[in-house]
Structure 1
């Protein structure tokens, strides 16, 4: 393989791709991130040198954003195809920056949400545990079925819930699950599992706002019934 593509003049631990894998993208410089996007340099310069030459031409990344295809092709090692790829990358990054977090409704009260869950879950023949992840305004930003089956501590684990809570930067969590028997009264397993989730959330600074159990026509809110405070 060519020296330029492998950056053999640098220790392998300093190659941008290896550093990203080891340390994460936030620890890389602008030059290293651009080098990863460019993938390789030319016969005259390696990819880190090419990335550095491009960045030195612009005093800020804001200026780089407005460069044209023709201007990019003035750099040795940047042809039309690579210039197109760079412009596409810039536009895609801009669209990601502008993207808004989706909202799937807002929880106004345990009563209204309980009625919603009855409609959603009452017809399942197996228990479904669904987690709803909320922002600080109690807007639902994500929902996920955590598991299907009997709710017991050997199967259900809080880590499955809080993995998603951390990933979505949720401030609060509401749990909902159904009792196929039609009776929404919580079992001892329901109560113990809810307490485990509450405790884990408290340690992480993520509130378990409610756990609502639904039957065929009724719901049971552990917050309304003072099991959660």
Structure 2
């Protein structure tokens, strides 16, 4: 099988390349079509697509998920390089949104910053359920201390697509603010990502 360069491959060819199958393989063609219309390309979790498309085995799904995750991280790294300083909620969203596309659980993250608000590290603190994140300040501040962060922004996603901060978000934010005061590492904002939208607790006056 002769492969075109990946940037010229169709969705079917890309899936075939990842799975090591021929482009005329019926299952491969159908799966690529499902991915493009109902799968990660449209923001749906791959696990959900796999449940609906029973002929996809766990190994094939794992390969696709690995490729998607690599793509997420590549896009996030490029966004981070383009965003020299983190000064607005839009900057935060630009960096983390590529990592959160299609995620069906809440991911709680932090952007560790230096004294000039340059991004030092994107920290994934925890992964929660479909409707709640499980966060304890200790691992968060342990990571921030490890990279000598001067300040930070916390951010997590709402898989529902609605970025409206919940009561739990507000309580967690205030708890982190108190810990940050003690640690001498300022919390600049608490952002929530939902689909193509985002919300800033600082802009909403909730910090």
| CA distances 1:14-73 after superposition (whole Å, capped 9, x unpaired) | xxxxxxxxxxxxxxxxxxxxxxxxxxxxxxxxxxxxxxxxxxxxxxxxxxxxxxxxxxxx
Structure ID, larger Rg: 1
C-alpha distance in 2 between matches for 1:226 and 1:120: 27
Between the two proteins, the alignment pairs up a number of residues equal to 124
Query: Is 2:110–2:124's contact at 8 Å kept on the other side of the alignment?
Result: yes
Partner residue in 1 for 2:205:
226
Which whole-Å CA distance do the structure 1 matches of 2:193 and 2:172 have between them? 16
Q: Which runs of 5+ in 2 are unaligned?
A: 1-79
Considering only aligned residues, what root-mean-square deviation do their CA atoms show, in Å? 1.8
1:160 to 117, 123, 139: 139
CA shift, 1:190, in A, is 0.9
Match of 2:172, SS? helix
Q: Once the two structures are superposed, what CA deviation does each residue of 1:63-115 show, in whole Å capped at 9, x if it has no partner?
A: xxxxxxxxxxxxxxxxxxxxxxxxxxxxxxxxxxxxxxxx8642131223234
Instruction: Give 1:220 deviation, angstroms.
Output: 0.6
Matches within 5 A, 1:23-102: none
Deviations 1:153-211 (A, max 9, x none): xx311111111111111111111111000000111111111111110001111111111
State whether residues 89 and 199 of structure 2, in contact with CA within 8 Å, keep that contact through their aligned partners in structure 1. no
With normalisation by structure 1, the TM-score equals 0.50
State the SS of the aligned residue for 2:178: helix
- Kindly indicate whether residue 179 of structure 2 is the aligned counterpart of residue 188 of structure 1: no
| TM-score calculated relative to the size of structure 2 | 0.56
Structure 1 stretches lacking a partner, 5+ long: 1-102
Residue 149, structure 1, aligned to residue 98, structure 2 = no
TM superposition outliers: structure 1 runs of 4+ over 6 Å:
none
Shift of 1:127: 0.6
Are the equivalent residues in 1 in contact too, given 2:125–2:140 (CA < 8 A)? yes
Correspondence for 2:153: 174
Query: Does the Cα contact within 8 Å between 1:128 and 1:147 map onto a contact in 2?
Result: yes
CA contact (8 A) 1:128 1:149 kept: yes
Tell me how far apart the structure 1 counterparts of residues 144 and 196 of structure 2 sit (CA, whole Å): 30
